[in-house]
Amino acid sequence: MRHGQPSPTAIAAAAHRMQHQLTDRPLVFEDPLAAKMLGEDWKPRAALLGRRSMRAFIAARSRLAEDALAYAYARGVR
């Protein structure tokens, strides 16, 4: 990992979340930040398109984390 740069793992997760936005319906998780993280010139690779189960896992994991955060915030956790 390079200082000041996202890790390859973070980039891969963002790519799966972005591809989920583009190809999967219904959406499990809406991610307006994935595109910003990846940049305007991002294009999906063929290998990413074939990894639907990994995309589904990452989308579900992200949804679970965001829902837990929203629940905690609603209960007053700061």
pLDDT for the residue numbered 1? 66
Query: How many CB atoms lie under 10 A from the CB of residue 55?
Result: 22
| pTM across the whole model | 0.81
pLDDT on residue 72: 98
- 3 state DSSP class of 26: coil
Residue 7's pLDDT band, with cuts at 50, 70 and 90, is: confident
Mean pLDDT across the stretch 16-41?
91
State the average pLDDT over residues 30-59: 86
SS3 content of the chain, % helix, strand, coil (to 5): 60, 0, 40
* 31-42 confidence digits (pLDDT tens): 999 988 898 888
